[in-house]
Amino acid sequence: MQASNRRAVAAVASCTLLLALGVPVARAEGCLFNDAHFHLTNYVQQGTDLGKYVDEIMGDAVCRSTLFGIPLQQTWSYENSGEFAPTYYLQSDAPLYYYSFTDAYIARVYQKLNPAQQKRLDPMITGFNPADMYAVDHIRRVLELFPGVFTGIGEFTIHKEFVSSKVAGEIANLTDPALDRILEFAGEAGLVVILHSDIDMPFATAGAEPVFLRQMKDLLRRHPKTTIIWAHIGLGRVVRPVQTQATADTAERSPTYREIVEAMVNDPTLAHVYFDISWDEVAKYAVASPESVRNTAAMLNRYPDRFLFGTDNVAPSDQSAQLRVYHLWDPVWKELTPEASRKVRLENYLRLFDAARARVRAWESANVR
């Protein structure tokens, strides 16, 4: 075993031990967080070497990490951008399409790692079209072809600012029975779900209820047996937390974003729902002002079991890229109780993803031969 691998094994082992003892791992061990939201590859399926990701980028700073690509491939249309090869969805008018091979790619690069490296990762299935009633067959096929690899599904996307309308074919939506089939199967097989769906349309009117909130809650309520992580708490690049605004004609006060999320956290029909606070675009809202820092910290301190930190980094080239997003949250980390900080950075990940791993392995033993 290489020295770096031995260090990694030692880091994970001591991380787990310290967690069991209730010792704050970050201080003692340099293990800052587990990454609940990580993309190895970008919109054109290029990315970081997985061995390098584990040994150098996670290194001693990140104990565990989710692992997925991006299922939506940006077409390079010569008609549209000529010799310019777009690598991001905002760089071309050409459509995005579902690139299912991403799941085989993730599985194969994972299988090439040694067991100690593998233990630190939770690969996720993403290469399906959530508007396709056959999507669930793809997910099942991936589990059958690569047993022992995957922990969950996602990040997959229903509503996302400028992405949804660029997807070739049928547009995904929260009321589609195809999506219900996917979440139903995830519950049956024990797959943890990371779902991206903006709570609102871009540039929505301040003070109005977010357009997709009702549909999202209804969808989540239909699948109480499935563990679902709502990525970015429903926020995005241009989808901002709603602001309180008393309108002159109604004199009614609409709820703040904090009240919306708090109502969901306290709703017993949504007890299976968690929120990830990944993406630098989300951090920018949390640390925008001393008041937003206070509000965010108050929420995490009050409900520390329901939030997970993640970077949402895409194909990072070195560890500083990975830690940059973490440190954007420093003003919030400082305001958290030791317990809340530990849970959001480390323990909620272990609880959810370890449970999912065990359940998926059990489903595979019973269903894959």
Q: Which of 80-88, 148-156, 170-178, 341-349 is the region at the interface with Zn ion (rule: CB under 5 A)?
A: 148-156
Phi-psi region of 105 (alpha: psi -120 to 50; beta: other; left: phi over 0): alpha
- The interface region with Zn ion, picked from 89-97, 98-106, 154-162, 252-260 by CB under 5 A, is 154-162
In one-letter notation, the amino acid at residue 180 is: D
Q: How many residues does the chain have?
A: 369
CB of 80: closest distance to Zn ion in angstroms?
Answer: 25
Contact by Cβ (8 Å): 270, 217: yes
Element (H, E) at 4: helix 3-21
Give dist(CA 103, CA 146) in Å, integer. Answer: 9
- Closest contact distance (angstroms) between CB of 353 and Zn ion is 16
The 266-305 contact track toward Zn ion, x by CB under 5 A, reads: ----------------------------------------
Nearer to Zn ion, 196 or 223 (CB): 196
What are the tokens at 45?
Answer: 């399926």
Output 69 or 86, the one with its CB closest to Zn ion. 69
In the range 305-364, which residues lie near Zn ion by CB under 5 A?
A: 312
Q: How many chain residues bind Zn ion (CB under 5 A)? A: 2
Find the binding residues for Zn ion in span 173-202 (CB under 5 A): none
Q: Are strands 192-196 and 228-230 parallel, antiparallel or unpaired?
A: parallel
Neighbours of 333 (CB within 10 A): 19
Q: Which is nearer to Zn ion, 55 or 312 (CB)?
A: 312
Name which of 200 and 312 has its Cβ closer to Zn ion.
312
- Judged by CB under 5 A, the residue of 60, 122, 155, 364 near Zn ion is 155
State yes or no: residue 55 binds Zn ion (CB under 5 A): no
Give the pairing of strands 307-308 and 273-276.
parallel
53: which DSSP letter? I
For 156, other C-beta atoms within 10 Å of its C-beta total 27
Binding segment (CB under 5 A) for Zn ion, from list 147-155, 253-261, 291-299, 316-324: 147-155
258-263-244 Cα angle (round to 5)? 40
CB-nearer residue toward Zn ion: 71 or 304? 71
Nearer to Zn ion, 15 or 172 (CB): 172
Enter the tokens of residue 336. 């958290």
Complex with Zn ion: residue 324 or 361, whichever CB lies closer: 324
Least distance (Å) from Zn ion to the CB of residue 45? Answer: 15
End-to-end CA distance of the chain: 32
Q: How far is the CB of 363 from Zn ion (least distance, A)?
A: 25
Q: Is 279 helix (H, G, I), strand (E, B) or coil?
A: coil
Task: Give the footprint of Zn ion on this chain (CB under 5 A).
Answer: 155, 312
